């Protein structure tokens, strides 16, 4: 075990805990704990949104996916980059305006207020959807941390999972949204540095060793050297659609990302955040793709029992210890930044959407914050149990959660924002259909043919339209409010 790398990782974890302790000493309201109380700058929220959106799935999952599949992985990167850009350009300001006008804290809040005649039913269905899928999503982050520490230090995977869960739960429960965002800023910088520096170093190493990326791709298994995966016709169409389908999950349906839009203070901050978020995306996804391709040149995939460990292997193989420690902290940063936000999403769903709004518990601000902290700890323990008992790959678990929550709620959000004839029953039908479609799709061979991400989005959208037409109602907003929401 390299002492320099270990020391840097210990320092990094200590800084995360200190930030949580610092914000725990402040007097926090429920709005502060769940959404930062509109006190955070736009650039910080953009860094936080990107760190939250790009978990171990980006640094471990996507780099490993590219390492295994080659050039055709570019379609995943394109789909995600376009989805993120659309979210910042067309949805961020809308969520900010809704939150400023109605003091919203969550996506179920937004949908319930929009369709008050069915508010209770919408709140329950949306909350149950989020909690059920996000517990597995959280478990995937803890599992990713165990893989990272195992591949770096030969640390027992179980011990790595336990250590990561402990750190994340402690600082998230102490400082809430405020500590999560500021730790995310540090984590986001570490992530993008890792994704930019490592492929540059790999390219220099390839040149110095007189290796050829083209030759390596040509000698790889069939389809790896093709932008189309060696497919044509219908098969090519499925490849492109399946990989581009990550796009749908970014259209307002990921509550851990949408909360950053809701936390924006004003139009100026929103514009700044949009620029920062889009630039970060281009750098990070371009870097992740290059890491997978350069790894194909440097290593034989057959030598890896788990391709999702290729990035930490490259870091320790190509870089001196003191730099490796910083970049490996970037991997843990990716995991922690998503895990802490997912904890807060589950917390807000239970404490705000269920206990406060759905069940109508009349609690003081202090009691609400206390309930939120306890919920954070309990959710962390459940996620930990899932991580310790699940053998699913990070890429697959995140993909399913992306379909179940992101693609389902994206359909609901788009209908609520952009189609005036959407009804409360239509929103409920969207959520229920998205949940059932995802569960059925991933439990059958259909997932191997056509991704649940696209299938869930389209089936949820169709259900929302059909049921809105069958059971119409009037939104609770006034005409002026409807107009402001769609400007």
Question: For residue 155, what is the domain's CATH number?
Answer: 1.20.1730.10
Kindly provide the b/e burial profile for residues 299-313, where b requires at least 16 CB atoms within 10 angstroms of the residue's own CB.
bebeebeebbbbbbb
Q: Degrees (nearest 5) of the Cα angle 429, 260, 399? A: 55
Residues spanned by the domain of 281: 28-389
In a domain, 232, yes or no: yes
Kindly provide the b/e burial profile for residues 234-252, where b requires at least 16 CB atoms within 10 angstroms of the residue's own CB.
eebeebbebbbbbbbbbbb
In a domain, 55, yes or no: yes
Number of domains in the chain: 1
Annotate 109-154 with DSSP letters as a single string: HHHHHHTGGGHHHHHHHHHHHHHHHHHHHHHHHHHHHHHHHHHHH-
In a domain, 92, yes or no: yes
In a domain, 37, yes or no: yes
300 backbone φψ class: left, alpha, beta (φ>0; ψ -120 to 50) = beta
How many Å apart are CA 416 and CA 423, to the nearest integer? 8
How many Å apart are CA 313 and CA 149, to the nearest integer? 11
In a domain, 432, yes or no: no
CA dist 456 → 61, 130, 342, 431 (Å)? 22, 15, 21, 10
In a domain, 450, yes or no: no
What pLDDT is attached to residue 484? 44
How many Å apart are CA 395 and CA 399, to the nearest integer? 6
How many Å apart are CA 484 and CA 325, to the nearest integer? 48
Annotate 304-316 with DSSP letters as a single string: -S-GGGHHHHHHH
In a domain, 353, yes or no: yes
Task: List per-residue pLDDT tens for the chain, 487 residues long.
Answer: 567 777 877 887 788 788 777 877 777 777 887 788 888 999 999 999 998 887 667 888 899 999 999 999 999 999 999 999 999 999 999 999 999 998 888 899 999 999 999 999 999 999 999 888 888 778 777 877 776 666 666 677 788 788 888 888 887 777 788 888 888 888 788 888 889 999 999 999 999 999 999 999 988 888 899 999 887 788 888 888 888 888 988 999 888 899 999 999 999 999 999 999 999 999 999 999 999 999 999 998 888 888 878 888 898 889 887 787 777 776 676 677 677 777 888 888 888 888 878 777 777 777 878 888 888 888 888 888 877 776 555 556 666 777 889 999 999 999 999 999 999 999 999 999 999 999 888 888 888 888 888 999 999 999 999 999 999 986 454 444 444 444 3
> Which run of H or E residues covers position 320?
none
Give me 461's structure tokens.
Answer: 């959208």
What global pTM score does this model have? 0.83
Contact predicate 334/253, CB 8 Å: no
In a domain, 8, yes or no: no
Burial class of residue 26 (count of CB atoms within 10 Å of its CB; 0-12, 13-18, 19+)? exposed
* Residue 54 CA to its chain's centroid (Å): 5
């Amino acid at each position: 075990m390299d002492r320099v790398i270990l020391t840097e990782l210990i320092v990094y974890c200590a800084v995360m805990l200190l930030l949580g302790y610092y914000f725990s000493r402040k007097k926090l309201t429920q709005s502060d704990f769940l959404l930062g109380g509109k006190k955070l700058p736009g650039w910080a929220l953009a860094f936080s949104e990107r760190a939250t959106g790009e978990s171990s799935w980006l640094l471990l999952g996507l780099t490993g996916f590219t390492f295994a599949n080659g050039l055709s992985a570019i379609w995943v990167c394109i789909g995600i980059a376009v989805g993120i850009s659309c979210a910042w350009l067309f949805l961020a300001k809308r969520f900010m305006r809704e939150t400023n006008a109605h003091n919203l804290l969550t996506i179920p809040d937004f949908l319930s207020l929009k369709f008050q005649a069915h508010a209770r039913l919408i709140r329950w269905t949306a909350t149950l959807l989020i909690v059920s899928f996000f517990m597995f999503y959280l478990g995937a982050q803890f599992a990713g941390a165990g893989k990272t520490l195992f591949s770096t230090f030969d640390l027992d995977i179980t011990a790595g999972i336990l250590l990561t869960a402990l750190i994340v739960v402690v600082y998230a429960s102490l400082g809430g949204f405020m500590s999560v965002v500021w730790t995310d800023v540090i984590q986001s910088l570490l992530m993008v540095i890792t994704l930019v520096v490592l492929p540059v170093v790999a390219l220099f190493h390839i040149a110095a060793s007189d290796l050829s990326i083209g030759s390596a791709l040509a000698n790889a298994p069939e389809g790896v050297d093709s932008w189309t995966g060696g497919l044509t016709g219908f098969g090519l169409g499925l490849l492109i659609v399946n990989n581009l389908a990550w796009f749908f999950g970014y259209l307002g349906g990921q509550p851990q990302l949408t909360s950053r839009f809701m936390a924006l203070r004003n139009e100026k901050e929103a514009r700044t955040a949009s620029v920062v978020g889009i630039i970060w995306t281009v750098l990070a996804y371009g870097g992740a793709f290059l890491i997978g391709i350069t790894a194909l040149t440097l290593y034989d995939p057959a030598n890896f029992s788990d391709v999702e460990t290729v990035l930490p292997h490259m870091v320790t193989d190509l870089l001196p210890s003191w730099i490796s420690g910083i970049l490996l902290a970037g991997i843990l940063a990716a995991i922690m930044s998503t895990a802490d936000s997912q904890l807060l999403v589950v917390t807000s769903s239970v404490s705000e959407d269920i206990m406060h709004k759905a069940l109508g518990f009349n609690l003081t601000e202090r009691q609400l914050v206390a309930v939120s902290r306890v919920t954070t700890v309990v959710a962390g323990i459940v996620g930990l149990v899932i991580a310790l008992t699940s053998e699913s790959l990070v890429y697959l678990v995140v993909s399913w959660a992306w379909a179940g929550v992101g693609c389902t709620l994206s359909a609901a959000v788009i209908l609520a924002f952009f189609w005036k004839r959407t009804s409360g029953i239509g929103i409920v039908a969207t959520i229920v259909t998205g949940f059932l479609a995802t569960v059925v799709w991933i439990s059958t061979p259909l997932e191997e043919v056509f991704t649940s991400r696209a299938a869930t989005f389209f089936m949820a959208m169709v259900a929302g339209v059909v049921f809105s037409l069958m059971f119409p109602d009037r939104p609770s907003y006034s005409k002026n409010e409807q107009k402001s929401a769609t400007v």
